[in-house]
Structure 1
């Protein structure tokens, strides 16, 4: 895994560092209370494991997948196979990916640099697929390349099936493997790594902010990547450098974006002072014969949320067997596009009208049963984090709020929030999205709202800014 001198391959959870005689109670508590949780903190200069909790248990990577997509892109740049201004074509397959997405159209093109920026900020699934198809020739072949590269980097328990991280039960990883990938990105591509510190970038008329809320908030944090699906929980890989010390931390399976971020803040605060100021940091050397995870080993170690013999038997793929015919589990993906133009400016949006608008706006098929499909947007953290379906909105933000619409379906309300947040830019920076269910049975509506405004003026001004962007809204006191 790490270089033999670093001895990282032999590190286990017994390497838990205890500072001042105090164990990290918050981390241990999170692990015991949440079966999805796994975490690790590595000294980026020596490879020492400063903290670990279930570091080798299998988890779903979600959008952390895009770290490998970006790694292979950096590798192609360094090899001269592509340039930053090389144009990446967008296929119908790529353009039809569910959110989070950039919204590129079939037949359009964007530069490699724009593609990288879209991945590290919005975590755009459509762009990830476009890059994968461009670099690998096909989505399946790129997934093979990703897994082979993982093996070469010593990520022995990671299997990739797609370039973006949308749900696939065969696409698994571990906290330790993700730490290795984070270190490899820093070590192997220092000339490109600064892309992960991108706060925002402009694409067309859009100003796109970064999903990583620790950038500019926690001292020393310079990346790397967030991820979320319902199956994975809230994931984060973080790199931090300060006072001559350097660490890479991983939190997988957080219960919410806020809880995950708080956990990472605490890990950095506790273990950064324990990191060494000495060491070369050259920890990740590619090898041709890294061991792979066997089906029998996987069957014994797959965690509760990935527990199936069928999944374990497939983990030798893609090197030793066929790629599954499915791209990812379509039954677990929500087609979550939302209309915010004049066609949805009324306060109540009907299901049929919204579906028709989606077909017009995105030129993609909207399944008739879409309202009944579970929410599984990758990296759609803002629309899920503060969700409440209480008619009394007990856990909703108090004070002044903005309502952008109401719909008979919760999924569509989430989609409205996601779309509005993408387009809202500064107007919704720091705002908290949530839904409130009112009524009963067939008369029930889900109000899509943003809260967290300091007063009436801020809420009203934000609503005015949204209206200029074509987003209908009104401000009121909760």
Structure 2
């Protein structure tokens, strides 16, 4: 919808709306939530992870590109391999020429090098390393294509009815699609199935070969109670995130897809968390104000 306000006025209007959502104890029954994303890319859902109750959704079953949210399923299958004893945290995963040739973000391996499973998990979570994700897929699946088929099969078993995986990394592929709802299902499954591994998703950096590798998830440390889990971006998807909030007896999974920037995405996640925690929001109707397209 076209908004005739000048750019600076619209910025402060959106900012005021976010402040209102975060702090107002008398939110009107018909509240307004600013959405900093084109309508054709935006999708969001908030789920109470303890009860499965849906607290908010917009276009949550519409097809979207997962980008690096894909790596959540790569990690799910790697955690399964750890649980079954197929691999240990010390197992060395070889990095093939195909894996090493993936575009950034990556750790940049030379021919013949390998990475241990523990470091691989951190590289995928923190750095979102495409070369490591592909190496894991090849190791567990025999080839990346076979691993993608395993990913899609596991997605169906988890109840992710609208997701198709074509690669282990989330790099652009027109056939690789998901929905905000399916990503929420995967986020909850990771939390419930692997509580002993979930701590990886709260890490914002790690040491690799004597170098500090910093991450992309700026929600960590920004909002008290946020304990993961994964960001993603490709041009076709916009800025995506799945966020876990766990504090004061509340556990939420928040998915936002298609934002125009990481900052706008994070602002929106924070607003959705505050909205979902507010007792005044129960049963209210929310109107969405989309950014100008």
TM-score by length of 2: 0.84
Match of 1:222 among 200, 216, 227: 227
1:207 aligned to which of 208, 212, 220:
212
Alignment of 1:21-36 (within 5 A): 21-23=28-30, 25-27=32-34, 29-30=35-36, 33-36=38-41
Aligned twin of 1:93: 98
Give matches, 1:299-318, under 5 Å: none
1:100-119 superposed matches below 5 A: 100-119=105-124
Alpha carbons 1:37, 1:254 under 8 Å: kept:
yes
- Find the counterpart in structure 1 of residue 262 from structure 2: 257
Distance in 2, matches of 1:25 and 1:106, equals: 53
Whole-Å Cα distance in 2 between the matches of residues 272 and 123 of structure 1? 30
Once the two structures are TM-superposed, the CA of residue 274 in structure 1 deviates from its matched residue by 5.0
Task: State the alpha-carbon separation in 2 of the partners of residues 274 and 120 from structure 1.
Answer: 33
Q: CA RMSD in A?
A: 1.5
Map 1:55-454 to 2 at 5 A. 55-273=60-278
In structure 2, C-alpha distance between the alignment counterparts of 1:50 and 1:128, rounded to whole Å: 32
Contact in 2 for aligned 1:246/1:272 (Cα 8 Å): no
Match of 2:49 among 30, 44, 52: 44
- Name stretches of at least 5 consecutive residues in structure 2 with no aligned partner: 1-25, 281-293
The alpha-carbon deviation at position 30 of structure 1 amounts to: 4.3
2:237 and 2:258 in contact (8 A); partners too: yes
Query: What's the CA shift for 1:140?
Result: 0.6
Tell me the SS of whatever aligns to 2:33: helix
Asked if 2 retains the 8 angstrom alpha-carbon contact of 1:50 and 1:274, the reply is no
Offset of residue 20 of structure 1: 4.6
Query: Hey, which of these two has a bigger chunk of strand by percent?
Result: 2
Q: State whether residues 240 and 259 of structure 2, in contact with CA within 8 Å, keep that contact through their aligned partners in structure 1.
A: yes
- Match of residue 339 from structure 1: none
TM-score, reference length from structure 1: 0.52
Deviation (angstroms), 1:210? 1.8
Structure 1 contact 68–181 (Cα < 8 Å) conserved: yes
In 1: Cα distance, 2:173 partner to 2:187 partner: 22
Distance 1:55 1:23, change over 3 A: farther
Q: Partners in 2 of 1:79 and 1:128 — Cα distance?
A: 20
Local SS of the residue matching 1:75: helix
Cα distance in 1 for residues equivalent to 2:164 and 2:270: 28
- Deviation track 1:133-177 (CA, whole Å, cap 9, x = no partner) reads 001111110000000000000000000000000000100000000
Using the alignment, how far apart are the partners of 1:182 and 1:106 within structure 2?
Answer: 34
8 A contact 2:97–2:111 mirrored in 1? yes
The count of corresponding residues between Structure 1 and Structure 2 is 255
Q: Deviations over 1:356-412 (max 9, x none)?
A: xxxxxxxxxxxxxxxxxxxxxxxxxxxxxxxxxxxxxxxxxxxxxxxxxxxxxxxxx
Q: For the pair shown, which has the larger CA radius of gyration, 1 or 2?
A: 1
What is the deviation of 1:273? Answer: 3.9
Shift, 1:99, TM fit: 0.3
1:242 to partner: Cα distance:
1.1
> In structure 2, what is the Cα distance between the partners aligned to 1:166 and 1:51?
28
